[in-house]
Amino acid sequence: MATLEPLYHWSVPTPYPLSDEVIADARGRGLSARLLRVLSRRGPVDAAALAARFDAPETALHDPQLLPDADRAVRRVQAAVAAGERVLVLGDFDADGLTGLAILVLALRRLGLDVEPYVPARTEEGHGLSQGAVERAAATGRTLILTADTGSTSHTEIAAASVLGISVIVTDHHQLPGGPPDAAAVVNPHRADSTYPDRRLSGAGVAFKVAQLLLADTPDGPAYALGLADLAAIGSIADVVPLEGENRAITRIGLGLLAAGGRPGLAALLASAGVSPERVSPETISFALAPRINALGRVGHALDAALLLLEDDPERISELVARMEAANLERRGLMTAALTEAREALGADDGAPITVVAGPWAPGVVGLVAGRLADQLGRPAVVFSTNVEPWRGSARSAGGFDLGAAFTANASLFERYGGHAAAAGCHLDPARYAEFRTAMLACFRDAPVTRDQRRTLVLDLVTSAGSVDHVLLAELMPLDGVGDEPPLLGIAGLSVGRVRSANGGHTQLTLRKGVEVLDGICFGRSDLTGVLREGDVVDVAARLTSRRFGGMESLQLEVRDVAPAGHLAAMRAAGPAPTTDPLMIHAPAARSAS
């Protein structure tokens, strides 16, 4: 029998200091000392941070008038309403772009405009305002185009539209390296001249603010705009913007709408993904909802996903959901096949400190394959699709290697590239593949040596087994489902009872604290069946939840990792670990790509 070793590197961040005022404020809100400790490990805690989490979320939304080009956007749309112009809304083909598109379409239709949604094809048209969209608008007599989550660098296409008498309003959250394009309005909080109080909005978040702006002075418009926050929340979570500040407020409002049943297309999609409304959280959205919305952008027609978000007719909805489920299965099948082929191409273990592999795989899945390879092999992975020229490469890091820096250092090799420390992408001329491989290996050799190839699991609270009870669950409840990850606990000194493997590669176990028994479930951890024995005393990294069964409520631990007893005590003795690891995660994606 193999010996028990934690799969992840466990880390307990040093808490930020708390002032007496903040402690009093927290006490006044009925927050416990343990909850406050969790918060202080996640970031600085001041009055504003407490308000953003626990006050009514509407109070944390900023005035949309502060958006750059707010006046120009309003005036152009009002002119379109007055003249009865027809409009086209283009959204990027990922979940952020598609939810942003749906928000703009709904807001403009609310103003009485005739609006056609348009999503460019990933492989033929790519990101940005496409020439195809401009031609479509011209052919159908549409004289105004709005973009969602894209368009900030589409100088050429905006000029081409202008020649045809079509105005463009860009709404976007991407950087503008060439300055804002010459459009009717460029609503992007990243503009150099932007004075908007929070730049961290997603593309759908910007669209949501534009909807608030456009509907501000219409009957019941403000309430209607707030009702679009479910879409903005999905876009924000899918785009992995920090759920702080205004993003947190949008997410809290949106999750509330989803939990209350919400828009028919989203309710149907949640049901089809097996997520009940009360289980809606940032986690279920990122593991169940976003991959399904993204799937159509990868292997089908992303416009179907946008239409689902806009649809009210139950029959049409079930048709679109079925199409989305088929695309999701196809995406998973393509991903699994590509992963198997990539592993075969690499051999049992090619020994290189960074994985570089190319094959005839769909461009839409190479990023997912790179992520899986990085996880499985514990080192950075770059995967190329050779289906299109130039080859499309997607890279995911592991072990703290800075991919963005490595790509920037080799910028001359690429036709296009972009990215950050943890993930990057590029277009590469196949003739330069060997050169790229050599260059990446050289970068890795020159990179500072990383201490631990395992991914980091961040613990919010370390506690003894005896303190795990309903009181603790109730104290931590305020962090559940408001745009926060539920706390991950390090629990010391549980005794292993029954261990058995469950369907789907999971492990079920019972854990004893004294005479009491806790149920445990370890998603995606079939490996634990082979290493845990009845009577073992262990430390676990787990989330505390409750489960209702036959009218009884019982505590359950969602176990992420298991270590031999004494692991947490040894960590404490070794002192605080550095917490600047760019790959730091609050919980592993054990159920990702579902």
| Site for Mn ion, rule CB under 5 A | 96, 149, 203, 239
User: C-beta of 205: minimal distance to Mn ion in Å?
Assistant: 9
Comparison of 36 and 204: residue with beta carbon closer to Mn ion? 204
CA distances from 95 to 102, 181, 273 (A): 11, 24, 16
Comparison of 190 and 379: residue with beta carbon closer to Mn ion? 190
The residues, ordered by sequence, that sit 6+ positions from 422 with a Cβ below 8 Å of its Cβ are 396, 397, 403, 582, 583
User: C-beta of 100: minimal distance to Mn ion in Å?
Assistant: 8
User: C-beta of 152: minimal distance to Mn ion in Å?
Assistant: 11
The total of other beta-carbon atoms located within 10 Å of residue 121's CB is 14
Cβ(494)–Cβ(562) below 8 Å: no
Comparison of 239 and 519: residue with beta carbon closer to Mn ion? 239
Strands (E), 503-577: 506-513, 516-522, 537-549, 552-564
User: C-beta of 91: minimal distance to Mn ion in Å?
Assistant: 10
Comparison of 39 and 187: residue with beta carbon closer to Mn ion? 187
Cα diameter, the chain: 78
What b/e string do you get for 534-552 counting C-beta neighbours within 10 Å, with b at 16 or more? eebebbbbbbbeeeeeeee
Question: What CA–CA distance (Å, rounded) separates 270 from 91?
Answer: 22
Cβ(500)–Cβ(508) below 8 Å: yes
Q: In one letter, which amino acid is 228?
A: L
Comparison of 69 and 239: residue with beta carbon closer to Mn ion? 239
Question: What CA–CA distance (Å, rounded) separates 487 from 467?
Answer: 15
Comparison of 203 and 393: residue with beta carbon closer to Mn ion? 203
Question: What CA–CA distance (Å, rounded) separates 251 from 242?
Answer: 11
CA distances from 501 to 521, 556, 567 (A): 10, 17, 24
User: C-beta of 290: minimal distance to Mn ion in Å?
Assistant: 12
User: C-beta of 241: minimal distance to Mn ion in Å?
Assistant: 8
Comparison of 96 and 581: residue with beta carbon closer to Mn ion? 96
Of the candidates 42, 107, 41, the one whose C-alpha atom is nearest the C-alpha of residue 74 is 107
Comparison of 181 and 203: residue with beta carbon closer to Mn ion? 203
User: C-beta of 192: minimal distance to Mn ion in Å?
Assistant: 20
Cβ(7)–Cβ(450) below 8 Å: no
User: C-beta of 173: minimal distance to Mn ion in Å?
Assistant: 6
User: C-beta of 96: minimal distance to Mn ion in Å?
Assistant: 4
Comparison of 149 and 519: residue with beta carbon closer to Mn ion? 149
The residues, ordered by sequence, that sit 6+ positions from 374 with a Cβ below 8 Å of its Cβ are 355, 380, 381, 396, 397, 398
